[in-house]
Structures are given as C-alpha cells and as structure tokens.
C-alpha cells in the first residue's frame, strides 16, 4: 500500500531539503517562533515527521508573489 500526498509523512532530512536545505538549528528556531506558524512535527517512536500536504501548503503560503 502506498501513501498519498495527503497522508505521506516526511522525515526530518527530506523536510529540511524541501524548505531550502536548512539546518537542524534553523528548524529548532522556527519551531520556537509561534508567529512564524511553522508546522509542529509528529513524533513516532522518537523520530519527527511532517505531513507532506501541510508542509507544501506552508511553503506555498510563504511564497513571495511577483
């Protein structure tokens, strides 16, 4: 069974690549700035995952309109 975009969970390394190749420290800072609205991870067995559809929506909402 394969996951669809709406249910696929991205591990931290893949999530960091999608948001521009940022560091662990940058993600840590983003998570501590509530005004930024960065997604909270889902913790499964001690590892963090981000829902792909929600991450895509977050990125699109921050995109600069030209």
Each residue of 6-64: pLDDT tens digit? 689 999 999 999 999 999 999 999 999 999 899 999 999 999 999 999 999 999 988 87
Rounded to whole angstroms, how far apart are CA atoms 59 and 25?
19
CA distances 4 to 7, 19, 28, 59, 61, Å, are: 5, 20, 27, 19, 21
pLDDT attached to residue 7: 86
What are the structure tokens assigned to 6, written together?
Answer: 């709406």
Q: pLDDT band at 3, cuts 50/70/90?
A: low
């Amino acid at each position: 069974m394969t996951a669809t975009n709406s249910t696929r969970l991205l591990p931290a390394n893949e999530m960091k690549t999608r948001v521009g190749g940022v560091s662990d420290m940058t993600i840590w800072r983003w998570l501590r700035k509530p005004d930024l609205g960065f997604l909270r991870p889902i913790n499964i067995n001690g590892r963090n995952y981000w829902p792909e559809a929600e991450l895509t929506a977050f990125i699109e909402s921050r995109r600069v309109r030209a």
